[in-house]
Amino acid sequence: MSEQSKMDVTLTVNGNTRTVSVEPRHLLADVLRHEFNLSGVHIGCAHGACGCCTVHLDGTPRLSCLTFAVQCDGRDIKTVESLGGIDATHILQQAFKSEHGLQCGYCTPGFLMTLAPYVSKQIELGEMPEEADIREAMSGNICRCTGYHGIVAAVKKAISSQLTERA
């Protein structure tokens, strides 16, 4: 494709604003991985079935394999790299570690980005959700390793740690 058919898009990714030149067919997932070097954006199925590629678009979880980068011009994107580093891990990352919410870890960025807003909402409401509600919240994400039990336990642990702190 010629340079002429490329388009400039300005994305704010994890707080940094940058303009990149992309083809209209380029997926947000690929642009984040290859232009922004954010390898935490994992691609599993590439057709919207597994949830591995979930990022936040203007604060809402979104499948980056079903989103064209040109649709995101001027918008705010957060990837799993924004959640926390080694020295400042997010409560959900801590709970995934303590409750064995991961094995190979391939699905983990997607689960974290799907569940972090859910956990925040429950903490704000001051309520521990029913297990069925947690499973519904993560029903768009597939994990081939854990059997989901550890992931559900991690969500409960992240919420309960904050509710206990407040009590």
Chain residues binding ligand FES by CB under 6 A are 43-46, 48-53, 63, 65, 102-107, 143-146
Cα(167)–Cα(126) distance, rounded to whole angstroms? Answer: 10
In this structure, the number of other CB atoms found within 10 A of the CB of residue 112 comes to 24
**Least spacing, CB of residue 111 vs ligand FES, in Å:** 8
In this structure, the number of other CB atoms found within 10 A of the CB of residue 95 comes to 24
**Least spacing, CB of residue 142 vs ligand FES, in Å:** 7
Cα(47)–Cα(28) distance, rounded to whole angstroms? Answer: 13
Comparison of 84 and 140: residue with beta carbon closer to ligand FES: 140
Comparison of 13 and 50: residue with beta carbon closer to ligand FES: 50
Q: What are phi and psi of 137, to 5 degrees?
A: -60, -30
The single-letter DSSP state of residue 130 is P
Comparison of 122 and 141: residue with beta carbon closer to ligand FES: 141
**Least spacing, CB of residue 7 vs ligand FES, in Å:** 22
